Structure 1
Amino acid sequence: MAATKHAQQIKIDSQQYLTTALFQLLQTKSLNEIKVTDLIKRAGVSRMAYYRNYQDVSDILRQYFKPQIDRLFDDVLLGSPSEEKLAHLQHYFDTLSAQLILADHANFEYVIAQIFLENMQHYYEQTPTWSQLTPMQRRYWTTFMSHGVYAIWREWLVSGRSERLATIHDLIGSFQNATVQALRVK
């Protein structure tokens, strides 16, 4: 059992080293310029440690961002009080704003946007409105809303977060409600 715990700790350490090294490299290179050799050298891990954990360098980013984005959507799905949701959103943006801004400059924003889309799909599947929409409406509505909501959060963050978080949150809610109403009319 001790060997198993030790092996698990080595795996966790390798993942952390690779994540740290990747964010360091992303300060000066775009994601598509980073080679596995550069990454493992920077992280101080073996090539085998890398391939035991990841198939692609973008997998590191996915593993880093996915749990954090999933938690934000869990607040919504679980019906957490608005104050709690806003507090978690505030913490998310405070903690990750540098990496989220870096995503645009280092060409890895697509990783975050894909995680966001997956969560939006899961969220909409849980809403009562979902069953009232045709399959075509579901597909396009999810794509439209996911990209739109993501773009609003991105714009708010990149433009310096000058509006209150609650204001942006309410704005997104009003856009979602208006879109649902528009689909119901047809």
Structure 2
Amino acid sequence: MAATKYSQSIKNDSRLFLATALLELLQNTNLEDIKISKLVERAGVSRMAFYRNFETVGDVLKDYFEPKINRLFDDVIFKTPVNQKMFAISNFFTEFDSTMKLSIDRHFEYIIRQIFFNNMQRFYQSLDDINQIPESNRRYWIGFMSAGVYNIWREWFLNDKRDSLDDVHKLLGTLQTTTFNAMLER
């Protein structure tokens, strides 16, 4: 049992060292230009330690960011009153501000976008009224809204946050309500 805990501890340490090293390398290098050999050297771990945990360098980022984003959405989904859920998602926008910039600049935005998209789907599937939308349209509406929320957030960010976050929330609320009602009318 002790050997198992010890080996799990080493595995977790290796993953943390790789994530830390990768985030450091990303300060000056695009994701696609970071080689595994450079990453393991920076992290102080072996190539075997890398391959025991990951297949690609992008997997390191997914492993690092996914639990953080999942926790933020868990708070919104399970701990936030219904009338404050969309506003609570702003925590994601503000907390991941620097990550968004880095992901765009260093070409790993697709990883953040997919994790966000998966969590927005969880968020919409958790809404009490979601079952009012016919099953045949529900997944399309959830996909549409999930992608839309991400793209609005991205545009807001890329435009130097010129609009207030409150205005963005109102826009999202309007789009969500309008499209939700349109699905009910079908």
Which TM-score tier does this pair reach, normalised by the shorter chain?
A: 0.7 to 0.9
- State the Cα RMSD in Å: 2.6
2:18 aligned with 1:9, yes or no?
Answer: no
Q: Partner of 1:115 in structure 2?
A: 115
The two structures have a TM-score, normalised by structure 1, of 0.83
Q: Structure 1 residues 182, 79: closer, same or farther in 2, change over 3 A?
A: farther
Question: Matches of 1:7 and 1:27 in 2, distance apart?
Answer: 31
SS in 2 for 1:113: helix
Supply the distance in 2 between the matched residues of 1:93 and 1:58 (Cα, whole angstroms): 22
Match of 1:41 in 2: 41
Q: How far apart, in 1, do the equivalents of 2:120 and 2:86 lie?
A: 16
**Cα contact 2:17–2:43 (8 A) shared by 1:** yes
Per mean C-alpha deviation after superposition, the further-off stretch among 9-18 and 133-142 is 133-142
Amino acid at match of 2:58: S
Q: 1:118: how far off?
A: 1.3
1:124–1:110: structure 2 CA closer, same or farther, 3 Å change rule? Answer: same
AA at the equivalent of 2:117:
L
Deviation per residue, 1:151-181 (Å, 9 max, x gap): 1112222333344333323321221111101
TM-aligned CA distance change 1:88 to 1:13, over 3 Å: farther
- CA shift, 1:83, in A, is 6.8
Structure 1 segments unaligned to the other structure (5+ residues): none
Q: TM-score, normalised by structure 2?
A: 0.83
State the alpha-carbon separation in 2 of the partners of residues 181 and 164 from structure 1. 26
Deviation at 1:47, TM superposition (A): 0.7
Partner AA of 2:165 in structure 1: L
- 3-state SS in 1 of match to 2:80: coil
SS in structure 2 of the partner of residue 78 of structure 1: helix
Q: Per-residue deviation at 1:50?
A: 0.7
Q: Distance in 1 between matches of 2:117 and 2:94?
A: 22
Alignment-derived partner of residue 137 in structure 1: 137
Aligned to 2:53: 53
Corresponding residue of 1:73: 73
Q: How many residues matched?
A: 185
SS class of match (2:96): helix
Q: Which runs of 5+ in 2 are unaligned?
A: none
C-alpha separation between the residues in 2 aligned to 1:87 and 1:122?
Answer: 15
